[in-house]
Each structure stands twice: as C-alpha cells, then as structure tokens.
Structure 1
Amino acid sequence: MLCIKHHSTDPYFNIATDEYIFKHMEEDCFMLWRNDNAIIVGKHQNTLAEINHEYVKERGIKVVRRLSGGGAVYHDLGNLNFSFTRTGDSYEMIDFQRYTKPIIEVLKELGVNAKFEGRNDLTIEGKKFSGNAEHVFKNKVLHHGTLLFSSEMKDISGALKINPLKYKDRGVKSVPNRVTNISDHLKEKISLDQFTDKIMDYITGHFEDARMYEFTEEDLKKIQEIRDEKYSTWEWNFGYSPDYNFKQGARTPGGTIEMNMNVSHGIIRAVKITGDFFHIRDIKPIEQALENTKHEEEAIRVKLEPFNLKEYFDKISEDDLISIMF
C-alpha cells in the first residue's frame, strides 16, 4: 500500500487528488492531507442548501463537491483528512469501521477514548470529531474522513448554518452534530504535525507492504487537469445539484419582497417576484431576464445590469434583490 503525505492545501486540487488515487493508481493507497478554508459537499447534495452564502462569500471560503455521498463538512487547516483506496471483493466494500479503526487505535495510544457511533461518525464523549464517506465503483472503494484536531468551531457553525425553509428538493441533507476538537481531549498536548506523524507511523507499521510514496511530476500534472476541468468548475460544484424550488422573502425600505424560483441543474428556469413594494414599470421583464441564468451571484448581476432598477423596485437596491436570492 502506498502511503502519501499530501502537501497541497488547495481544496480543488485535493479533492481532485482523491479522485486520482481512486481512479488512476492501481495500488491501494493511504493519504493524509489538509484543506485551507472550504466546504466540501456530498455528491448528491444541493450545494446552495448546505452553505451560509453570505458567510462563505465574505470569508472567501471555497465550496467543492466531492466524489462520495454523505453530508457537507467544513475544512480548515486545523482539520486533518485521511483517505484509503482499496481493491477487493464487492461484498466487503462498505465497511466504515474497518477504515476508521486505525484512527481509534492511535487515539487510544494518546489516552483518548474515541468511539465509532451511528452510521459513519467517530466521537469523543458523545461529540463528533470525524465524519466519513465512501464511494464504490466495481471492486474498488474510496474511503475518506475528517479529523477535527484544532479547527475553528465558530467557522464550522457559521459556514454551514442555513435556513432549511428556503430550499425544497430531494438532495441529501446534512444533519447537525455537536462537534469537538481532538486537541481538547489530549492529556499531553501535541501539534497537528505530530498527530499526523503518529497516524502515518501506525499505518506503515500495521499494514502489509505499506511504504511511503511521493507524487511524481506526471501524477501532479494529471491531478491539476482533473482540478481544472472538474473540481474548480461551477458546473460540478453547483450545477450538479438536484433540481429544487427556492423561496425567500425579506422586509426592505421599499416594502416586503419575495423571490420564488424553480432551479434545474443550477440554472434558474422560472422566476416569480411578489410583495407589497411599489414600482413604475412592470417587473415581468426582470423575471424573464433571470430565466435560464445560473443561480450564481455574478451571473445574476450581469442580467440585472441593463435595468434601471429604481423604476422597477422603489427603494429596493440590487443588493437587496441579490440577498434574497440565496
């Protein structure tokens, strides 16, 4: 088994790396890696329904859809991620406990009583510190998980806090959990780098034929291609979302306004704007202009640019309109 300490912190590149070791490397792999601030959503989720749009935009948090199912998770540099790829018999592919056991064993050595609970979580004293997901294709599995070591808890709650009433769809919803950092439970404090080394030492010492591996220039070139062509694109991260209906209203200086949209593959297909606001011109051209537009702020602003909005919405600004569309 190839053991990899991945040094990139680019979320797009790292999620592409997960796909690369799963689809393009024949040998089984174990990889440890970290992302800079990012929300990683499950393959079958409605991205916009999982994120706090304003919080994410203000802080420049990247949003990336991964290859596996499950719920959305927040990554920062205080979070360590691990990935296994393995080829085997299909009947034994889905086995969360198999791939999380090494983590539990390392934590036991550090005096932490960690447990596997529920469907795919690791907990300490009933609080979650690790979520796990798997993707299976034919006779190969990709298992990856998070390990909250010293993450910023306020960012976890802020980035993922959303209003469930805005979106009606069939996407897989994330379930809120009480979370904790591993570092808060260590009897003797160690750094995240030291914790990373302990996990890698455990893997290389307990798995047959485990050996360290550095990505070649050719590996990195192919990963970059996957990153650029897939994981950094709006089409994958947002457009792949299931169809949904969106409804949200707000009180503005010009009165109440409500936005109703039908969205398919991330594209706004139908719009209806209602409320008790005043206007000079009929708003139908605005609704029509927004049809067949990405449900994405920049694209919407481009469609609104030709209009003198003061003639359509009295005392309601473009920013007011944008804010109720997310």
Structure 2
Amino acid sequence: MPRQQLVLISLIWLKGETKYASFSVSAVDFTDWPFNQNPWKECHLKLMQNDGVPLVRRRSGGGAVYHDIGNSNYTIFMPRDEFDRRTNAQLVCRGLHQLDIPALVNDRHDLVIGDKKVSGSAYKLVNSRAYHHGTMLIDADLTALGRYLRPPPKNLVGKGVESVRSNVTRLREHSFTVDHLSFCEAVAGEFYRTHGVQWREPVELTVDHMKTNPKVRDYYEEIRTWEWIYGQTPDFVHRLERSFRWADADILMNVHRGIITEANVTLKSERHIAVASRLSERLQGKSYSEDGIREAFATLKEDLILGTRDLEELEGLQEWLGSSL
C-alpha cells in the first residue's frame, strides 16, 4: 500500500460491546501533545513548521509524542469501573514477551527495556467510559524525535504540566523481526487471552471509512483549528530580553488561551519611549504567533511617523520578537 494511504489504519478487536483494542500506524510524521501542556515549551515549533511536521492536540493527558511510520499506537477502551493503567500496561507487556522482547512495566506505567523507554501512555475518563492509549517505538526515527521534542530554552512561566523526559530505545534494537503487524497480533492475542475471547478476524478501518462517519468528520474539523491546537493552552508569561545597538529591549507578555492579553515593552532609549508604549498597546489582543507579532507591528507603523532609521530598528525588533516565540 502506498505510504500516503497509511495515514490511519486501525485493527480493532471486539469483546462483546464493552471492550475493544485498536492499533494504528501513521505514515505522516506529526507531533501530538496533551490537553494540559504548553506546546511552546514542549515542541520545537519553528523546526516542525520548517520541516512540514504538523502539531496535533489530543484530549487526554500524558506527554508530547512524535509519530512517524516506525511508531505504532494502541488504544484499549473499557468501562470506567474496570479501568486500571497498570493492568493495561502489563497486558501490552505480555504481548511483547510473546515476541521475545524483555520489556517491563515501571512505576510510571511506561514500558521499558533495561532503563530505556519503548512505550508511554495516557488515558481519559469520560462519564462511564475510559480509554487508555499508548505509543510503541518499533523503528521510529529517534533523531527526529529528539529534534522536535527538545525546543530551545525560553523564559516561559506557566501553569501547564511539563513532560517527563526519558531515554528511549526501539524494539528493532532488540528484535530483527518485529514490525507493526507482529506487534498488533501479539498484543491482540494477549487481549483475547486476558478477557477469555476467541480470536476473531480484525476489522480494518481506513481514512475513507472515517470520512463517512459524521461524528468523526466533525471531530477532525475541530482539531484542525487554531483555537483547538493553541487556544486551549494554559496561561503563561513570556519574558524576552536583548541588547540592540540602539537600545536594550525588555518585553513581558501575558498569554491566555494563545492570545496576548497584556504586554509591557521597555526600550531603554529616550528616543523610543513612544514606540515602546504604543507597541505594548498594539500587542494586546494579538495571537501569540509570528502572524500576531506581524499584525501588531503593522498597526504600529501606521500610528507613528517614522524615518528610515526608525523603520530599520523596528524591523529588527519585529524579526527578533517573532522568531523568539
């Protein structure tokens, strides 16, 4: 099957009407991060944008995850009163043992080989239902993983939960034969044994199947929006400082749901007092993004009568501020 058609393929095993497990692999590289984190602290967004790697925000907790065709995903759905993270992690672990992979479940319910992580997981409880999902690093590009999940240091202070960073390894470093399908079959078999169900042929869902489901289609449209990806970010404060030839700049921005709600710009130069005051005003209400910064500076330039020298200085300030987010 061509690579571009493997965007989402799930193999689903059913047990009655209460439990099922799904498995998927993505041929489109992307990074997904949880509901309660700050993407500007967790991901190298500039690098992802330059490389065409989308950012996707999920509803569950946990930490940021990089996905490529070498990273498989599993999900176990169940009634809420039967949910137990360790039980589910141990089920997946036993599946790996069927592949002669010596994995263990650690205190954080991650799957590890030695002291290196191969699988992390997260969960969500909704009314009477629960789901527990995780990743499995089978043959993932660990170099890309490190690049996209290690953002440059920023002076950000906020309420979001930070990822716990771990040393990682891949199943392929411990088995020459493991692949996505063998992983799915091993864990599905363990799912059947655990719940006392006979093996059934899996149901395969492709992107075309998803497009015919109105609820899935609506959900897909929702999670593509800026408001969902960035607009649910917990409040944070970003302080930036830099010495220019013409002034020292100190900028403090309060950000709520991805919008700059308050800005305090200080330019330590008598000539730039008015510019600093106006820029503080123009930043308020703009999105915390390069586009938002560009809009603020565009209106600032319309407000003031500026000479060539002033414009050059403002352009340098704009370029620095936009690239620092």
The residue correspondences of 1:26-41 to structure 2 (distance < 5 A) are 27-35=18-26, 36-41=28-33
What is the deviation of 1:99? 1.4
- Structure 2 CA distance for partners of 1:204 and 1:297, relative to 1, 3 Å: farther
- After superposing the two structures, state which structure 1 stretch, 40-49 or 296-305, moved more: 296-305
Q: Secondary structure of 1:98's match?
A: helix
1:222 to 201, 215, 240: 215
- Residue aligning to 2:187: 199
State percent identity of aligned pairs.
25
Q: Which residue of 2 aligns with 1:53?
A: 45
Determine the structure 2 residue equivalent to 1:184: 173
Amino acid of the structure 2 residue aligned with 1:196: C
User: Which residue type is aligned with residue 310 of structure 2?
Assistant: E
Which residue of structure 2 aligns with residue 320 of structure 1? 320
Whether the 8 Å contact between 1:48 and 1:238 is mirrored in structure 2 is no
Aligned partners of 1:116, 1:179: CA distance in 2, in Å? 14
Within 2, Cα distance between the matches of 1:214 and 1:60? Answer: 28
CA deviation string 1:154-204 (max 9, x = no partner): 211111113565211111111110011111011x43333443344344445
Given candidates 128, 133, 137, the residue that maps to 1:139 is 128
Structure showing greater Rg: 2
Q: What is the CA–CA distance in structure 1 between the aligned matches of 2:224 and 2:157, rounded to whole Å?
A: 26
* TM-score (structure 1 length as normaliser): 0.81
Partner of 2:288: 295
Task: Answer yes or no: is the 8 Å Cα contact 1:64–1:237 preserved in 2.
Answer: yes
SS in 1 for 2:120: strand
Residue in 2 that maps onto 1:311:
310
- Paired position in structure 2 for 1:151: 140
Assess if the C-alpha contact under 8 Å between 2:96 and 2:102 holds in 1.
yes
1:55 partner SS = helix
Give unpaired runs (5+ residues) of structure 2.
none
Output one character per residue of 1:122-167: Cα deviation in whole Å (capped at 9) or x when no partner. 1001101111111112221110001011111121111111356521
Amino acid aligned to 1:47: P
Residue equivalent to 1:122: 111
Structure 1 segment 226-265 matched on structure 2, within 5 A: 226-228=219-221, 230-250=222-242, 256-265=248-257
The residue that corresponds to 1:3 in the other structure is none
Q: 2:36 aligned with 1:44, yes or no?
A: yes
C-alpha distance in structure 1 between counterparts of 2:211 and 2:67, whole Å: 27
Local SS of the residue matching 2:251 = strand
1:285 alignment partner in structure 2: 278
**2:7 matched to 1:9?**
yes
Q: Tell me the alpha carbon deviations over residues 244-293 of structure 1, each in whole angstroms, 9 at most, x when there is no partner.
A: 11113345666653431001111101112335579666232222111111
Letter in 2 for 1:161: R
How big is the shift at 1:50?
Answer: 1.2
RMSD over equivalenced CA pairs, Å: 3.0
- Residue 100 of structure 1: aligned partner: 89
Q: Could you report, residue by residue, the CA deviation over 1:202-240 in whole angstroms, capped at 9, with x for unpaired residues?
A: 445654266433455675332121110x21111111110
Q: TM-score, normalised by structure 2?
A: 0.82
**Alpha-carbon distance in 1 for matches of 2:296, 2:89:** 48
Which deviates more from structure 2 when the two are superposed, residues 124-133 or residues 217-226? 217-226
Contact 2:282/2:299 (8 A) holds in 1: no
Equivalent residues, number:
303
Q: Which runs of 5 or more structure 1 residues have no equivalent in the other structure?
A: 1-6
After superposition, the C-alpha distances for 1:65-124 in whole angstroms (9 at most, x for unaligned) are: 2111122122122100001111252xx42x112212232122212221101002231100
Compared with structure 1, are the counterparts of its residues 57 and 279 closer, same or farther at alpha carbon in structure 2 (3 Å cutoff)? farther
- Quick one: which amino acid aligns to residue 76 of structure 1? D
* Contact kept in structure 1, 2:61 and 2:124, CA below 8 Å: yes
Determine if contact 1:254/1:313 at 8 Å carries over to the other structure. no
Contact 1:45–1:173 under 8 Å retained in 2: yes
Q: State the SS of the aligned residue for 1:261.
A: strand
Tell me, in whole angstroms, the C-alpha distance in 2 between the residues paired with 1:250 and 1:153: 34
